[in-house]
Structure 1
Amino acid sequence: MFSEPKSPPEPESPPSPVPSNPTTTTTDDDDVFHNRETFFENYNQMNKSFKIFVYPTPKSHPFANVLLPVSSDPGGNYASESFFKKSLAKSHFLTTNPSDADFFFLPFSIAAMRHDRRIGVGGLQNFVRDYVVNVSKEYPYWNRSGGADHFYVACHSIGKIAMDKAVEVRVNAVQVVCSSNYFVSGYVAHKDVSLPQIWPRQGDPPKVEPSKR
């Protein structure tokens, strides 16, 4: 004899929603990205622990003028590049132990290379390529990240073509560029950062009304 078919089981009732706490509210200030206390806590920690290693260059190096900070006061409309290197050289972020470094600085100066007759505009790409090749052979740090934890500074607009023969630098390394370079094709918004451009002038600044500038 065939047994009578069983009726399908009744569907289970959905679980009761968890009651919300009427005393808890969510505001933009609770968001970690907008919480001042969280920001300053992280910033203070970064300010204490963040370290940068600069690839060393002896003063006797034939291109010390390109790789070392300038000794004089920077001038001209690309002075930001030189001021950055001078400030970094005296910064508490520097470390002489690369094992402690979070980032590695490639100290070549685009503006200095442009004005060096041995390099010039036509030799920028070869210089950058050869410098990175030498660094990758002498130190292990470039190869372990492909340059992703390295950065360089470029305020001159010619810097946008300086990496054409060093693809890993252009794609992986962080560009610290002046704001006038924001919209060049090589700027990657999620990776690169801007550096305020300054132009030191002699004497007192002119007093000209904004409407007449």
Structure 2
Amino acid sequence: MFLTNIPLFISLFLSFSLPLYSTPYLSPTTLFPNYQKMLQSFKVFPYTSPLVFSTPSDSEPLFVSSLLNSSFLTLDPEQADLFFIPFSSINVSARSLSRLVNALRYDFPFWNRTLGADHFYVSCEGLSFGSDRNVLELKKNSVQISCFPTAPDKFVPHKDITLPPSLAGPYSPMEKAKNHLHLGYVRYGAIKEHSLIKELRADSEFLVDSEPLDQLGFQERIRISKFCLFEYGKGDVSGINDALRHGCVPVVITDRPIQDLPLMDVLRWQEMAVFVGWNKGRAGVKVEELKRVLYRTCGGDDRYGEVRGLGVTAGKHFVWNEQPQPYDAFHMVMYQLWLRRHTIRYARREVA
């Protein structure tokens, strides 16, 4: 069903008011044909296990529900490219995980072929490394799909994947205000209270909300602001998806390299967001330093427009739908899994 009018869809996608040389994709020449190959051939075998989610609106259960109702599933494990290990990630203990992996090891022949490297699981918080052999193999070899952001010690770059945060409402890009009222906007909770917030509040070029906003109020703030500020690691970065899709260029303040951004295998984050280092030795970043970075980015309307346009184009891939649609968040996470389908398989052996 997803192949209907795909050539037209791709044509419109690639020509989204951007010059041909300007793209948010790491490899646009391979992304779209590979996506079609994924739809036609990618198969996942799910083990049987009860699933319990306490927050049905979050991206974790949205992904699992979409997967279990998708055409990617196969009941023939010999056809499978990857194997899905479903378990509730809420208060899961290392002992129960060890028992689960041990059962897979002895009851099925598939785990031992790759030591779990062609298996994946979903854990919003991410799993820690442990001394138990079963848990260690699960964490070290299997692909972990977690929520963004994930604690550094619970995420393995180039192997693990993060889910785009769930969004409130359908994708509906707004027209930007012709005259921005604010250089930057900080949503309540996006940056924790510290000296930078006090400086931003005192600067007339920034809008800082001290109370939570509903979705419409947040979108209106985005519409009249050029940049949306987030602090990675300590603050709330869940609104970065909304900022992208509604045309507010994300500014991410961080004290370390970020390796768990959603869709990192697909998107050129450096071209559609601004990353500002948090100088620990000087008690953080100062507002004047921050403004210099932002003015460099929007020094010319063409440059700012290009950065914003790349983000809006990428924002289409961050939308979760009850019924998955082409190129939405579910399908782009599946595409990243498909990229990880090639694993080393060992000769079958009996486990002592």
TM-score band w.r.t. shorter chain: 0.5 to 0.7
Distance (Å, rounded) in 1 between the aligned partners of 2:138 and 2:64: 19
For 1:86, the equivalent position in structure 2 comes to 65
Work out whether 1:48 is the aligned partner of 2:40. Answer: yes
Distance (Å, rounded) in 2 between the aligned partners of 1:131 and 1:200: 35
Q: 1:199 to 1:40 in 2, by over 3 A?
A: closer
For 1:130, the equivalent position in structure 2 comes to 99
Distance (Å, rounded) in 2 between the aligned partners of 1:153 and 1:167: 16
Distance (Å, rounded) in 1 between the aligned partners of 2:78 and 2:65: 23
Distance (Å, rounded) in 1 between the aligned partners of 2:32 and 2:216: 38
- Equivalent residue letter for 1:74: P
For 2:329, the equivalent position in structure 1 comes to none
Q: How far did 1:151 drift? A: 0.5
Q: Deviations over 1:69-104 (max 9, x none)?
A: x6x9814xxx22111111111111000000000000
Work out whether 1:207 is the aligned partner of 2:175. Answer: no
Distance (Å, rounded) in 2 between the aligned partners of 1:170 and 1:186: 9
Q: 1:200 to 1:133 in 2, by over 3 A?
A: farther
Q: How far did 1:53 drift? A: 0.4
Equivalent of residue 190 in structure 1, options 138, 154, 158: 158
For 2:89, the equivalent position in structure 1 comes to 110
Distance (Å, rounded) in 2 between the aligned partners of 1:73 and 1:167: 28
- Equivalent residue letter for 2:215: P
Name the SS of the counterpart of 1:160 in structure 2.
coil
User: If the length of structure 2 is used for normalisation, what is the TM-score?
Assistant: 0.39
- In structure 1, runs of 5+ residues without a counterpart are 1-27, 58-63, 115-122
Distance (Å, rounded) in 2 between the aligned partners of 1:206 and 1:35: 33
Q: How far did 1:109 drift? A: 1.9
Name the SS of the counterpart of 1:161 in structure 2.
coil
Q: Retained in 2: the 8 A contact 1:110–1:155? A: yes
Work out whether 1:160 is the aligned partner of 2:127. Answer: yes
- Equivalent residue letter for 1:205: Q
- In structure 2, runs of 5+ residues without a counterpart are 1-20, 170-213, 230-352
Q: How far did 1:179 drift? A: 1.5
Larger Rg: 1
Work out whether 1:151 is the aligned partner of 2:120. Answer: yes
Distance (Å, rounded) in 2 between the aligned partners of 1:128 and 1:85: 18
For 1:174, the equivalent position in structure 2 comes to 143
Name the SS of the counterpart of 2:217 in structure 1.
coil
* Identity across matched positions, percent: 37
Q: Deviations over 1:26-82 (max 9, x none)?
A: xx9xxxx7462x43222211211000000024xxxxxx344xxx6x9814xxx2211
Q: How far did 1:199 drift? A: 6.7
Distance (Å, rounded) in 1 between the aligned partners of 2:86 and 2:155: 19
Alignment RMSD (CA, Å): 3.1
User: If the length of structure 1 is used for normalisation, what is the TM-score?
Assistant: 0.62
